[in-house]
Structures are given as structure tokens and as C-alpha cells.
Structure 1
């Protein structure tokens, strides 16, 4: 199940497995450490795999402050430090969905600690701006979480909502493979609801902060980047547009563009072997 380390006053749930060069896995909005299980089984024989839950996610403690691009990059560095991997050499950082922002920010802010970047169906916001009144937005998000918790929404709907979202985010509508006990333990809690609402509320702000980092902090030339979107293989307009946005991201970053087909948004569940292969190529 892993261990807990304290970062910024919050207990972070971290799981470290395997041996060899280090890779760090960070999942998307409201996802948990166990969503990486199929990938970890393939990587652990050849890599030291670090996966962690951000505040308000998985088994980590509640989120104390809103996320920022720099703050999430610092969190990745702090997790590595806290589990004794600060001096083992540069790492491959893997970010899924919104955590793609965090992985890219880490590479830009910690180039000496980065050997490669893999962006799995990463969020893409090429023209994001920081929304006005961030404190008001935070208060509204937390007020909504409090109101929903007061009427028992997390306990009543959390696990079922998780299951429905996972099914909708996989190619072919495949069911959620996560154990029921873990889903119930994680998604019946108010802190996960609060953490998801807080990250979603500040999504555009984090995207805009990353855009600013791109103008001041180049990606390390020695660290290859792979952009791996999920693509269901259908010619529908929505699917094609999503794929084009990911290709634009790869072009912008000078990255290898490698769609996972067929796959939905949860590439690590639909195509774990492709994800593992991309990580292993980085060093």
C-alpha cells in the first residue's frame, strides 16, 4: 500500500517499487495511485517506480492550498527527496491529463533532475489565461464540496461516479479494473471531492502558469519528450481534433508523437505496454 511522507504539512501517499533508474508517475484529475498498476507491473523489473497521490487524491491528506504549476513541480521534487531518491540521478517523469502540466513544469524547473518526459493524453491549453479572483474561486469550490458532503454525496455517489468516469474514459467502454475495496476506501471521502473540485477550479490558472514557464525555462536538451495521446481509431470529428491538439503539443515541444491506439483518455489502463515502452526508451 506504500508509505506516507509529509510535504508542506500534508501527508502524501507514496508507493516505491522495483529497481534501476527512477521514473515518477503522476495521474490525472481525481485519479489514484492504483490506476498505474498495469504499467508498474511492466516497469518494476527494470525501473524504480515512484507513484504518489497529490493532496486530495488517493490516500493523501486534504489539499491545503490551490495548485500551481511551479508548486506541483516542486511537489514531485519533494516526493523524490522524501523517499530518499534525491541523489540517484535524473528521473523520467510521466504525467497523465492535468498532470502533464506538472511533468512539463518539473522538466523546465528541474532540468538537471530530468532524463525524460512522457505526457499521456496530456491536457492542452495553448491560449490559457489566469482567471480573475482566484480566492473567490477557491472559496466557491470549497463551499460546493462542503455542501455536497453535508448531504452525503461522496459516500452515496463517489465510488459509482468513479466507475462511470473510468468506463467513459476507456476505449470501448471497458469497465474499471480497480478493486472495489480500494475504490470505496478512496472515493467515499470528502477530501477527494474537495481535491478534485479545487484542481478543476484552478485548471486554467495552472495552464497559464505553464505557458509563462515556456517563455523563460526551456526544456532540457538532453531529455527526450514523448507525447502519447489516446486515440480510439475512429474518424469522428471530435476524436480527430483531440489528436490534432496533441500533435500540435508534440510539435511545440519538439517531442516524439506516438498515439496509443486504440485507447481512451486513460492510456495507462488501455495500453500499459505502450506506456512502459515509452518510459523505457528515455533512459
Structure 2
């Protein structure tokens, strides 16, 4: 278990494998271990970095509210703290898609490739009014729920249920001990409430960033889960077109694609810069699972 300090906050980090660097960043209220099925498929070819954002997994609570630029700088800060200063493939799931896109736009020289895993999309987001009031309300709600014992009583059960409904089949593969260690805490409840409260503000900030900062000349891949239906796939396809990205509709996958189709996620990472990390590889967008 490793912790690095970024922005004066201890961040839990897991590093596996060797080779060119790839960073895996999970969605709202998810943890480092949610990437476990993907890591063995990458570690032979990549140095795989997973980290918990503040208030997630085993990381300490957030010192500041989330922002697109702040999360982009957090990724850079984690890599710098680990001494990994070369270009990295950044992989973002769900809301973390906002973060890795912001990283690519703000730190182009540090970006080897971008993979967006059923990323959040907000085409017309605006910054909500009274952000300080919203932050205070989220913190107050977290305090009240924690004082009532809600995280300990319902946190792990809520996590299990959310994972189950976000997959095409199967339950939550995470070990019970790890789930309780993370999700029975007020820390993770507060972290999830804070990110959810500022979701639209982060989305609006990213839209503004797109106007000012172009994506670097690095491969971008958009992976979309087919279980969400045709309307979601159409939005994801349009999103990929806007970014000039390769698009893949991943069959037999729900929102938690890293659990349903770890092979598709690993392939997108490896094909983005080639298995050796030396350059893009051109392949079909339709794949069969690894044998």
C-alpha cells in the first residue's frame, strides 16, 4: 500500500507492471480495486497506476472542492510524486472522463493517449448558482448521515447494489473486507456527495476548456457500453466525432465496463500507442474477448 501527498492530501496509490505508463481513474464513488480485472491484462506491457481521489477508496478527505483543472493537476501531481514524468496514457471512467480529458488539454506534453470508458457527457452544462452554499449543504448532509450511522449500516449494501445494476451480469467481485473498509466510512460518503454536488460545475468548466485548449496530437478512444441503449450510443458516437476520436460500442457491457469487459478496456489502452508504447496501432473497432 502506497500513499503520496498531492495538494497536501494523502492519496492512496497502487502501481503494477512495467513499461510505458498508464493511469486508471475510476468513476464517482468507485475505488482503485474496481480496476482489478484490467490490471493483469496491462501489467506485462505497461506501468499501471491507480489512485483514489480524495474521499474515495483509502485516500484522505478532500481539502478543496472538485474542478476540471484541479483533477487534471491531481493526475499530474500523482505521477510527479511517483517520479513518472514522461507521457502517460490516461484512462477515465464515467465522471473521470472529464478529468482525463482536462489533463490532456492542460498537459499535452504529458499525454501519450486518452481512453474514455463510458465517459460522462454533458453537452450544455452550466455552472450552478451558489456553489459555496451547495458545498456547505453537501457537507452538512454528509455529517448528518454519518452521525446517524448510515455509512456503516448501508454503505457496503449500497455499493453492492449499485455495482449489480451497473453491469450486464454478475455481482460485485470486490472482497467484502475492502468494501467495508471503504464504504462503511463517512469519508467515502462525503467524497461522493462532494463530487456529485459539483458534477455540473466540472462539466461546464470542461466545456469552456474545450474552447481554449485543443487536444494534443495523441490517440483518443471512446468506449461506450451497449447496455445503455441506442440513445446513449448515439451521444457517445457524437462525442467521439467532436473529439476526433476512435469510437467503439462495446458489446455485453454495462456502465462498469472494467468489470464486464476488461479485455476491451485493455485493448483500447494497448492499441492507443501500440503494445510497446511506441506508436498507434490501427485495428478494427469490433473485438472478441481475450481467450
Q: Does 1:125 align with 2:122?
A: yes
Alignment of 1:95-244 (within 5 A): 95-172=92-169, 174-221=170-217, 223-232=218-227, 239-244=229-234
Q: Tell me how many residue pairs correspond in the alignment.
A: 273
Deviations 1:154-180 (CA, angstroms, capped at 9, x unpaired): 0000000000000000013x2000000
Between the aligned partners of 2:49 and 2:117, the Cα distance in structure 1 is: 16
Worse overlay, 5-14 or 74-83:
5-14
1:39 maps to: 38
Between the aligned partners of 1:255 and 1:160, the Cα distance in structure 2 is: 37
Deviations 1:16-47 (CA, angstroms, capped at 9, x unpaired): 11000000000000000000000001100110
Q: Which runs of 5+ in 2 are unaligned?
A: 274-291
Q: SS at the partner of 1:144?
A: helix
Q: Does 1:67 align with 2:66?
A: yes
Report the alpha carbon displacement of residue 231 of structure 1 after superposing the two structures with TM: 1.1
Report the alpha carbon displacement of residue 282 of structure 1 after superposing the two structures with TM: 1.7
Q: Which runs of 5+ in 1 are unaligned?
A: 233-237
2:252 maps to: 262
Report the alpha carbon displacement of residue 224 of structure 1 after superposing the two structures with TM: 0.7
Report the alpha carbon displacement of residue 64 of structure 1 after superposing the two structures with TM: 1.6
Q: SS at the partner of 2:37?
A: helix
2:27 maps to: 28
- In the superposition, the TM-score normalised over structure 1's length comes to 0.95
Between the aligned partners of 2:160 and 2:111, the Cα distance in structure 1 is: 34
1:235 maps to: none
Deviations 1:170-198 (CA, angstroms, capped at 9, x unpaired): 013x2000000100101000010000000
Report the alpha carbon displacement of residue 265 of structure 1 after superposing the two structures with TM: 0.3
Answer yes or no: is the 8 Å Cα contact 1:28–1:96 preserved in 2. yes
Q: Does 1:79 align with 2:78?
A: yes
Within the candidate set 232, 237, 245, 2:235 is matched to 245
Q: SS at the partner of 1:245?
A: helix
Report the alpha carbon displacement of residue 259 of structure 1 after superposing the two structures with TM: 1.4
Report the alpha carbon displacement of residue 63 of structure 1 after superposing the two structures with TM: 1.2
Answer yes or no: is the 8 Å Cα contact 1:63–1:191 preserved in 2. no
Between the aligned partners of 1:191 and 1:64, the Cα distance in structure 2 is: 12
Deviations 1:116-154 (CA, angstroms, capped at 9, x unpaired): 000000000010000010000000000000000010000
Root-mean-square deviation (CA, aligned residues, Å) is 0.7
Between the aligned partners of 1:112 and 1:282, the Cα distance in structure 2 is: 16
